[in-house]
Amino acid sequence: MSDAADQIFVLARRSVVRTSRQPAQWIAPLVFPMLLLAVNSGGLKAVTHLPGFPTDSYVAFALAVPFIQGALFATMNAGTELARDIQTGFLNRLALTPLRGAALLAGHLGGVVALGLVQACFYLAVGLAVGVRPASGVGGVAVLLVFAALIALAFGSLGTWAALRTGSAESVQSLFPVFFVFLFLSSMAIPRNLIQQAWFRDVANANPVSYLLECVRSLIITGWNGEALGLGFGVVAAVGVGALALSARALPQRLAR
């Protein structure tokens, strides 16, 4: 293994080890989305009777939501952990080694992606356990996991950028409600074409989170849907590339070396 790969690996491992040793960091992203899924599936089951609703299983419809919630937790965790490293001076310790900035970002985000994948496998396992069968088959599950990893990377990069800009764990955490507003103003609970309120439908149409949800949903409910996949991967690529570019720009200032 090259020096750079070695460095990325140990930083990613540190990220995973840190999370595993803080139960609140991994229990919340696993349990809360499942609780919300259970509540929504029970309370909104009647929605499946609406003409044009894409499935008769609300659990299958709502299973996409935990994937996005998991990404929000990834954003929080990635940002908070990095901000804490800045606040404690641990980032200065890293800055005093020959570690390259790109390797630092890659290692940090590598851990976030690994945890995002663990979350995605858990959500999928719960879905399978309650009878959801992905319409796109085994291949679709593989694509779903890749998509989950990319969402974790993209949103983790956003959290990383926030941490690098503010240097404060509290500031990063204050972003959480903002992200949740995006989630609630999307097609989270009902397909966009069935939203009756015009303003809400317009907001959901403009909200990129809707397309992330529909990408996951297409793989679970409708099978291979090029448009949904294209929009979903397009949104995640745009967010990811943008956030990574911003993080890469902010890192040298924060390393100050």
The residue ranges that bind other proteins (CB under 8 A) are 1, 3, 6-7, 10-11, 14, 17-18, 21-22, 85, 88-90, 92-99, 256-257
Residue 206's closest CA among 176, 231, 177, 180? 231
Please identify, using beta-carbon distances, which residue of 7 and 57 lies nearer to other proteins: 7
Q: Which is nearer to other proteins, 43 or 89 (CB)?
A: 89
Query: What letter does residue 257 receive in the DSSP assignment?
Result: -
Minimum Å gap between C-beta 22 and other proteins is 7
| Closest distance of CB 32 from other proteins, Å | 22
- Nearest-approach distance from CB 10 to other proteins, in angstroms: 5
State the Cα–Cα distance between residues 213 and 67, nearest whole angstrom: 8
What's the chain's length in residues?
A: 257
User: 90 or 176: whose CB is closer to other proteins?
Assistant: 90
Q: What is the residue whose two structure tokens read 């990613």?
A: 12
Nearer to other proteins, 14 or 192 (CB): 14
CB of 244 to other proteins, least distance (A): 22
| Residue placing its CB nearer to other proteins in the complex, 92 or 166 | 92
What is the distance between the alpha carbons of residues 159 and 15, in angstroms, rounded to a whole number?
A: 14
Q: Nearest distance from residue 26's CB to other proteins, in Å?
A: 13
In the complex, minimum distance from the CB of residue 167 to other proteins, in angstroms, rounded to a whole number:
14
Distances (CA, A) of 87 to 83, 91, 160, 169: 6, 8, 14, 8
Structure tokens at 36: 């919300």
DSSP per-residue codes, 146-202: HHHHHHHHHHHHHHHHHHHHH--HHHHHTTHHHHHHHHHTSSSSS-GGG---HHHHH
Q: Which of residues 81 and 214 has its CB atom nearest to other proteins in the complex?
A: 81
d(CA 186, CA 168): 29
